[in-house]
Chain A
Amino acid sequence: MIVGFSGKLYKKYEKDGIELLKEAIDEALEMAGLTYSDIDGIMANIGRGSFHGNKTYLNPPAQIGEYFGIKPKIIDHVQYGGPSVLAMIYRAYKAISAGDADTILCVQGGKISHIRDSNQFQKTDIIDSPFDDFIKVYDQMSPISDYAMVAYRHSKLFGTTDEQRALVAVMQRYNAINNQKAMFRDPITVKDVLASRIVSYPLHLLEIVYPIDGFHVFVVSKRTSKSALRNIDILAYGEAHWPNPPAEWDDIIYTPTIESAKRASFNLNRVDAFELYDSFTITVMLQMEDIGLVEKGKVGHFVESHDLTYKGDVPINTGGGSLNTGQPAYMSGGVILEEALLQLNNMANGHQVSDANVIFLNGIGWWSRRHTVTLVLGEKK
């Protein structure tokens, strides 16, 4: 039922965010063979300060509808960071199956380069946690320092090395070399990763995503006749939320993916490629463990003994992931979902996994890994 999609990525987009969104919607609708008047549902998750200047819409799906003249039957503001768009796909399928709408626009992204370049967020009354007053007062740089702490604890407990983490960046870069949408396409080595400066120990610059301007739009519709895409279905789904501050978790080396993957309960032997949220190298490794691809603590050895490229035995982040395309509005979910659809439709020129029929996606959201979504896509046979 995904009949069209688009990802528009720019290091710095010169016009307003709403114009960038229109570019993405137009392209996705064209692929779907549909028009604005066909849309009767909108789901969205938009980065802060994404539309006009530094403005944040309070209810993005409603205000997108207002701007583009769409009168939806249903709207949904799914906001828990990067994986939100994966959850939107599931919600859109459910809504269409239930007859609540026929064609739903799922939107994620934003224009944030002005925030990135100013190095500070716009001051608002929006708070991330009831405990901001007790956490954000400290000298830190979340989410980088947050994931760096996990990477260091993982090393301490299991002996995971900098070289092993670097291998993830190196293999993803190999996948990016032929991806036209990737911003970083020169081959790199483990040595290059380790020579890049340490931002938050032990994470190096080449292990960290670069935030960019970008929108992803996915059109979910029961009107599939005009679309050339395969009739992709949701083969499995699970989400999990651990909203407590991770300092209060049993251990920070686990993510809620342990639960979302269990809820999806999908046989990994049937998977042709994995698209795993890649805000940092360690993020990918945590998910490899938590989805059950490898036992907790053993991912370091696993990345040394397997080929994670699109040509390899365990293809992961086959287009290079957001580590190489850049991260639209601080959220990578659209990048991995677009890549999954390219793979499934044999459209991943230069990085196509042969005979890709089942793609396993996992997303992690918010600065401290509190929200996860597991989504498996393929044709139901």
Chain B
Amino acid sequence: MRDEEVRSMYFKYFQEEQLPFIQCGKCGHKFFYPRVVCPKCGSSDIKIGLSEGLGKIFAMTRIYKKDGSYVVYGIVEMNEGFRMYANIVEENGNTADIGKKVKVIFREINGKKYPLFAVT
């Protein structure tokens, strides 16, 4: 697979509200950021999988704006074992914190859908 193909497949999945990840066919390592080589063993035997979209918050911060409102930005660890950065949304009174469970949701950013996470 070419690098550009992997990257466009990611965006295609995002539009379909699916969260892709990559599993190495040689060492089994799972990772999110799209590459055509495994960052652990260097193998080009890579396979795109789809996450169930469930995970937990590994790290986070609340970024305050001048008007006192804030956004939550963090690192989530998905049940499949890979980690990624994203904004985290607090809905229905659920408050984000390290260790709290999240599920993937999709929101439009600059005209394209991207994965965000909602506290469950």
Chain A residues at the B interface, C-beta cutoff of 8 Å = 130-131, 133-135, 137-141, 144-145, 148-150, 152-153, 156, 197-203, 244-248, 252
Contacts and interface: CB of A to CB of B under 8 A. Distances in A.
A135 B39 contact: no
B33 A140 contact: no
Per CB-CB distance, the 4 closest pairs between chain A and chain B, nearest first, are A148-B61, A201-B62, A149-B59, A139-B71
Given A245-B85, A247-B84, A247-B85, A133 B63 contact: no
Interface in B1-17: 7, 10
Contacts of A198: 62, 64
A152 B59 contact: yes
Contacts of B70: 201
Contact of A140 (B32, B35, B73): B73
A168 B15 CA distance: 46
Contacts of B73: 138-140, 145, 149
Contacts of B58: 153, 247
B64 A244 contact: no
Contacts of A152: 59-61, 98
A312 B78 CA distance: 46
Contacts of A246: 75
B84 to A, nearest CB: 6
For A131, A201, A248, which residue has the most chain B Cβ atoms within 10 angstroms?
A248
Contacts of B56: none
Nearest to B116: A138
Q: Which of B58, B62, B110: most chain A CB closer than 10 A?
A: B62
A134 B116 CA distance: 11
B18 to A, nearest CB: 15
A203 B63 CA distance: 10
B75 A252 contact: yes
Contacts of A149: 59-61, 73-75
16 contacts: A138-B109, A138-B116, A139-B63, A145-B63, A148-B61, A149-B59, A152-B61, A153-B58, A199-B63, A201-B61, A245-B33, A245-B85, A247-B75, A247-B83, A247-B85, A248-B83
Nearest to A156: B98
Contacts of A201: 61-64, 70
Contacts of A203: 61
A331 to B, nearest CB: 23
Contacts of B32: 134, 247-248
B51 interface: no
A252 B62 contact: no
Which of A200, A202, A247 gathers the greatest number of chain B CB atoms within 10 Å? A247
B64 A197 contact: yes
